[in-house]
Amino acid sequence: MFILFALPGSMQQLKQSETKVSKGAIFQKYHHFSSAATKDSSEEGSEEKQTISVTFVDKDGEEKHIKDVEYYNKLEDPTDEENDMLDLAFGLTETSRLGCQVIATPELDGVRLAIPAHTRNFAVDGYVPKPH
């Protein structure tokens, strides 16, 4: 299961499916690493590209209990539907959101995201789901 960023206005809108089966990242090895997400506004005719940096912290990382309330508050409130799904999530905290609802914006530059301890890749054969 990917944590993917839906980029507003982008041609490459990626959203993970909201199945109840699994939540979390596909990352099999647990590492502390950074990733970049790019916003491409070429649709609007502008050449503006912005990169934000996102740090993932694994379950063995030092910063286990991420409570970046400041970043959390920058997100739109969860809808009832998202809250209904969060009800069933493992390892839920007060600053938990569904990965597909965390939309990358310049304001989130530097955000740190912790992935729940009970995260697994369901696919047997390294199958990579198609973005949809």
Q: Return residues touching another protein (CB under 8 A).
A: 17-23, 80-81, 83-85, 87-88, 90, 92, 118, 120, 122-125, 127
Q: Which secondary-structure segment (H or E) carries 71?
A: helix 69-74
Give whichever of 42 and 83 is closer to another protein, judged by the CB atom: 83
Exposed / middle / buried, residue 44 (Cβ in 10 Å: 0-12, 13-18, 19+): exposed
Chain length of the chain: 132
Q: How many beta carbons lie within 10 A of that of residue 96, not counting itself?
A: 16
Q: Which secondary-structure segment (H or E) carries 85?
A: helix 80-86
